[in-house]
Amino acid sequence: MTLDEITETFVQKSRDILGENLVGVYLHGSAAMGCFNEKKSDIDLLVVAEKELSDDVKLRYMDMVVGLNDEAPPKGIEMSVVRRAVCRPFVYPTPFELHFSVTHLDWYRKNPVDYIEKMKGVDKDLAAHFTVTLRRGKRLCGKEISEVFEPVKREFYLDSILNDVADAEDAVKTNPVYVILNLCRVLAYGQEGLILSKREGGEWGLANLPMEYHALVASALDAYSSDAAPERNDRLAVRFAAYMLERIRAVR
């Protein structure tokens, strides 16, 4: 199924299962910011509900998401269900009702009841997801974005995105494309308040970072936008990560 087919089906089934409890469904991430790569991007969705979801509804909803995920591009669906009450006024760290990504697929398939019982709590990443939704996201159904979400304070957004790159010096060796481009967009926000996609972050890096890192960033950009594998230079990548983290922490 295509991106549009996945999102249209997701919306319809969300309406069927959640009924009047559904406030809205919102697309964020690369698919909303014009740089979706079917082979390398996941489909990022936020679902807002008025009230808590019962365990029975959670099971029905997860069955729907997992079934649709099987029809999605390789990286699959990443989605969170939150209550409207934590969106405006914004609560940080943000409680969630339900979460799914392909990393949790085996857990749900092996023991759905255990998954439903334990997949709840708070998620710092939601501060970043809410910010992208408010600034760059797309309403797929329901209330307008500005009615549901309020701006996230800079301190919360920075904490959220810093949490995502905290292990960059290690992670850049195993997932260089994601880490390199993510570090660029984090620094772009810290210095200029820009909310960028990974592709835009890499382009910002080429325009603003020292020349010694340009080939590294350019290789990551090429790999992100195509089927190419990034050129490996772990020593340079680790040095880049350390340099970027130092600059990011300086503007916090």
Residues 107 and 224 in one domain: no
* Stated length of the chain: 252
**CATH code, domain carrying 90:** 3.30.460.10
Range of the domain at 242: 155-250
Unique residue bearing structure tokens 């972050």: 201
pLDDT for residue 77: 97
Domain shared by 73 and 161, yes or no: no
Q: Which of 136, 152, 168 is the last residue of a domain?
A: 152
Specify the pLDDT at position 39: 82
Q: Where does a domain end: 108, 131, 152?
A: 152
Pair (144, 41) in one structural domain: yes
Query: Do 55 and 177 lie in a common domain?
Result: no
Element (DSSP H or E) covering residue 16: helix 3-18
Q: How far apart are CA 164 and CA 67, in angstroms?
A: 28
Shared domain for 130 and 186, answered yes or no, is: no
Do both 103 and 159 map to the same domain? Answer: no
Among candidate residues 123, 54, 65, the one with its CA nearest the CA of residue 92:
123
pLDDT tens track for 125-174: 999 999 999 999 999 999 999 999 999 999 999 999 988 899 999 999 99
Domains: count for the chain: 2
Which pLDDT does position 122 carry in this prediction? Answer: 97
Among the candidates 101, 121, 152, a domain finishes at 152
What does the alpha-carbon distance between residue 212 and residue 200 come to, in Å, rounded to a whole number? 19
Kindly indicate the confidence band of residue 40, based on its pLDDT and cuts at 50, 70 and 90: confident
| In a shared domain, residues 25 and 144 | yes
Residues 178 and 148 in one domain: no
Measured distance CA(23)–CA(49) in Å, rounded: 5
Q: Largest Cα–Cα distance in the chain? A: 55
Nearest partner of 238 among 174, 167, 170, 182, judged by Cα:
170
Mean pLDDT, all residues of the chain: 95
